[in-house]
Amino acid sequence: MSIVSFIEDAGERLFAGAKAATKAPSNEAAATDVPQLNAAAGEGIVKYIAAQNLSAQNLSVTYDGAAKTVTVKGVAPDQPTKEKIVLCCGNVHSVAKVDDQLTVAQAPTAAFPPSTTYDVKAGDTLSKIAKAVYGDANDYERLFEANKPMLRDPNKIYPGQQLRIPPKG
């Protein structure tokens, strides 16, 4: 369990109400809207995770717009799924941090060791990242596969996005 930082202005634009939830309410009526906006944002992230064909038992996602933080709980079937769910939560516009409270039903093994993450910078390509991480630009396919289904095209990554970097092996 950990707090993972993300670039809040990068990522998928899943909910329009997040900006409203990140500002202090100016009156009582607006104050009652903030919990509803936060709940809608959390539901939007759950739908995004499901759209990526990822799931966890008892998955719970909450969004705190004032803190720009997502809290994710549940039991992922394995380490790669856990990592992908956390990245789905964080690679969303208006999210700066993910409080990862997910557990894993199957402990990390040699087959599924924990991955590291990489913050995409302007000018990066999967080949360039693979060359830096693995020493071989042709290992970009490993990065692409490790980040599916969030990545649909190896040529479409953006600055601020976080990617899974599985160990070479």
Q: pLDDT tens, 24-43?
A: 445 555 556 889 999 999 99
pLDDT for the residue 22: 46
Upper half-sphere CA count for residue 133 (Cβ side, 13 Å): 26
- Its pTM stands at 0.76
Strand partners, 73: 60, 101
Q: Taking 80 as the threshold, does the pLDDT of residue 157 lie above it?
A: yes
Q: What is the pLDDT of residues 97-125, one digit of tens each?
A: 999 999 999 776 666 677 899 999 999 99
Residue 102: which of 93, 89, 92, 115 has the closest Cα?
89
Mean pLDDT of the chain: 85
Mean pLDDT of 7-21: 63
Q: State residue 31's pLDDT score.
A: 58
DSSP 137: G
Domains in the chain: ranges and CATH = 2-104 (1.10.287), 116-165 (3.10.350.10)
User: Residue 5: its pLDDT value, please?
Assistant: 78
Q: What are the b/e assignments for 54-69, b being 16+ CB within 10 Å?
A: bebeebebbbbbeebb
Q: Quick one: pLDDT at residue 11?
A: 73
CB 71 within 8 A of CB 64: yes
Encoded tokens for 33: 């809207």
Best mean pLDDT range from 3-7, 10-14, 150-154: 150-154
